[in-house]
Structures are given as structure tokens and as C-alpha cells.
Amino acid sequence: MNNLENFSPASSDTGFTETIETVDVVGHFIQGGLVAKTTRKQAVYHPATGQVSKQVALADTALVNQVVELAQQAFPEWRDTPVIKRARVMFKFKQLLEENADKLCELIGQEHGKICHDAKGELQRGIENVEYACGAPEFLKGEFSKNVGPDIDSWSEFQPLGVVAGITPFNFPAMVPLWMFPMAIVCGNCFILKPSEKTPSAALYLAELLKQAGLPDGVFNVVNGDKEAVDALLHHPKVQAMSFVGSTPIAEYIYRTATSTGKRCQALGGAKNHAIIMPDADIDNVVNSLLGAAFGSSGERCMALSVAVAIGDEVADLVIEKLKLEMQQLKYGHYADEQNDFGPLITQAHKEKVEAFIQSAEQQGAKIVVDGRNAKPLGYETGFFVGPTLIDQVSSEMVSYQQEIFGPVLQVIRVATMQEAMQLINEHEYGNGTCIYTRDGEAARYFTSHVQVGMVGVNVPLPVPVAYHSFGGWKRSLFGDLYAYGPDGVRFYTRRKTITQRWPSAQIRECKQFAMPTLN
């Protein structure tokens, strides 16, 4: 099936005349059309089968530089477009996303392997960010104060930055880009998206829908590529800001490089999310929520719960017993089968990495209660699958505990007290998400006040903020001062300008004044 059949080629006056001629190559979306100008390509896999499904064109530095220049040319007109007209594009875009949801989810499933019901949830959370962006006429109104001094008025405006860029991960091909570019664009910026080269097609389809929604050419561009494209964006002087979501080592590299070149940057990194299970918790509810939070999307979520911290052996034994039984019922396989709970991992290399973490835990003394290695669902034996895995007797010294596994692996740590559990969380280098299962309001209040983590749930396993709040962690899970989307997204993609104005009377001559002006 031609997943790009509705894409139109770039107009001939952009300088990009080489268009896609085969569905086997995924290109870029530049100046309103799809182009495949490249000297390098990389394989894209269908994770459920393990087979190459297409190739993606990889942009070089010269191409990235051309795209930045085109975006810069589009900026003045878009910046001066009335905000209500920019918001109308977002309203239409939201409608098109809803009308084409099945197509987008199919693209996500083909390249990521995410089960269709999970892809629909991802897309819906992304659409909610578009809904929030539709409120731009309200949140960009600015502030005004009359008569701050004699005949002096003062006001603040929120102006766009210019050309901004985003680098997004493979695990949310639609949602994470939708965290970034709707807000950036509605605030008056031009945006260049560099999606993961492992899952490139959803971003291109989003670009086509934006074009259909009425967005002018050049305001939104998609450049597929690898580190060369990333570095080109980081070093280009006309790129004013960089947003990133991915692993912590890369996030730190992005942040340091971007800020060293004078760019504004928010770089969201990795996670090791703990769930404290108190003795008074509803264990059946705990088990049900842990199953989805640990194994949903094959654990390839930065908010996945990967560590259950049980308070006391009795709690741990009961949780493990019930988890072991329920995990036998979990199904994994092809994205199109709604009966499956989760799908494959993204690549063979990542599958081997996850299995190596399981092996290292076993070698360091942990107990493998449910082993997901050598998973081979019927009909998809060559896919990149790891089955649900449960590991007991984990300690904080183990490599599998210290690092982010990013797979369908749940580890259990046993401690005696809530204070010990919180110490584990607070001492870990990551601080993305966490939760506590309890019926005790006092314990929950203490936990939410003192845990050193950016997003906290109480009986909520995946405390991902809604679109009108903001998303981000603490410690080495976030580099930068502002979270993603929501109110922080508005602040990140705009800069404040404060104007103080006076129109003195023609009949009054001002006196010389050398002291700092005051109202005294």
C-alpha cells in the first residue's frame, strides 16, 4: 500500500525538484512538498516481522542549511499573520487529525510496532496539545498597565523567536512532535522537525495535514536524518531554539551544544520510574495498573513504570504472585490485532540490549520470575519481540536498576519502610515520573511533597500531565529550565518584550533628571 500517495511534490521554484518516485523511499517535507534529495539512505524495519519495509533518506548539512534558509524566508509573513488566523489553522489541523486517525495509527504501527489501540491513545494525547494551541488568541494577549508613571503606560508582548527546531524519538512518532510544533507555529515561529529515522512516516503525514489545514509553505518542514542533520541544526546560527526528547546522554549533548551556540534549549532525557506499594494498597488494582504501566508499548515509554518498590516481604510476595498469574494472559504480536496488549521492540539491536539487561540482573543475583527472552509469537517468529519479564530480588547496585532498560521488564525491590523506598527514588540519577499506591492520605501527602521527581502520581501509574499543564522531569531527566507543552511551551517558544511609553504634553517641558526614575 502506498502510504504517501496523497503527498504532493515540492513546487519547482523551491530548488527541490527531485521528488519521491517509489514508496520504498521516505524523504523530507520541504517548502510544502515531499522531496528525496539525498546521497544517503537507511533501512526502516517492520518490527513485527524483522524485515526491511522501506528506506529513509538522510539529509546532509547542505540540505539542512537550505531548509533553515527557506524557513527564515517564511518567518516574517507568518510572524505578522494575525494570531486568530494562526489559530484557525490549528482548528482545521485538529479536525484533519481526527478524520485521518486510522491512517496515522497505521503508519505508527508499521514502523514502531505499537498496537493500534495504543497508537490511538498516543494520537489522542497529541491532539489535546493541538486543542490547547487553538487558545493562542487568549494566552498571547500580553499584559497592559496604564499610568505606571505620569502619563506613562507599560505593556508586555510575547513575540516569536524565529526558526526553531525539534528532534523527536521513535517511541511516539505522532505525540511527541505534537508536543512541540503546534505551539511553536501558533506562536508565530517557523518549525523544522527532525523525527527519528526509525519511524519517519508519521511526521511526513502530519506535515501534509498541516498543509491541507492552510499552513503556508515553509512554516513547517520535516527533515529526516541522523547525527549529521542534528548537528547541522544545532550549529546553524538562524535556528533560535531546540526541543529534544530522547535518551539522557543525547539530551545532555543536545543541551550543551545548543546552549554553547546561544540557542534556547529544552532537552528531555531518560527515566527510571518507581512505584511504591504500601501495605494498605489495593493489591488487585496495583497489579492491574502495573501490567499496563510496565508492559504497555513494550515498555518503550519514558513514563513506563519499571521498578516496583514493595514495602515489606508480605506485600512483595503477594504482588509477585498475582503479577505472575496475570502475565500469563498477556498477548503480544502484530500491531493490527486489537487483541494484543503490546508489540515488538523497535530494532534487533534494541531487543538484544533489553535481553542483555535481563541477563545481567540474573548474573548479579536477581531472580527471573517470568522470563520474556526467546519470545516468538506464532507467525512473527522473526520479529523483534521480548515477552513480559518480571525480576525479583533486585538491588540498587545492579546495572539493570541503575540504567533505563526501555523494554517490557518490571523489576521488584524489597524494602522495609517508605523512607527507604523514597531514598532509593531520591538518590537515583533520573527524576522523571513516580507514583505511590496507598489508601493513606498522610503518606501520599508526604510522598508528593518530598520525593525528588518532576511528575508524581497517587494511585496513578502514569502521571503524564494533561495538555494544559506541562511535562518534564527533574535531575538528569531534563536539561533546561522549561517543561514541554502547556504553559511552559508558550514561554519556551516566545520571548517577552516590555514597552514603556509616554506622550508628553506639548505645553510641558521636562526637567533634566539624572537619578533613577521612581514614583516617590
Catalytic residues: 302
- The three cell numbers of residue 97 are 487529525
With vertex at residue 351, the alpha carbon angle to CA 348 and CA 352, rounded to the nearest 5 degrees, is 90
Q: In sequence order, what are the residues at sequence separation of 6 or more whose Cβ sits closer than 8 angstroms to the Cβ of residue 520?
A: none
- The candidate with the shortest Cα–Cα distance to 16, out of 4, 34, 42, 41, is 34
- The three cell numbers of residue 478 are 531534563
Position 280, amino acid:
D
Distances (CA, A) of 26 to 15, 34, 196, 201, 370: 19, 9, 12, 7, 39
Alpha-carbon dihedral angle through residues 252, 258, 259, 265, given to the nearest 10 degrees: -80
- The candidate with the shortest Cα–Cα distance to 322, out of 267, 269, 277, 270, is 277
Q: What are the φ/ψ torsions at residue 513 (nearest 5 degrees)?
A: -140, 125
Task: Dump the DSSP string for 54-89.
Answer: EEEEE--HHHHHHHHHHHHHHHHHHHTS-HHHHHHH
- For the chain, the straight-line distance linking the first and the last C-alpha, in angstroms and rounded, comes to 75
According to DSSP, the β-strands at 264-268 and 478-479 are antiparallel
3-class SS of residue 178: helix
DSSP code for 437 = E
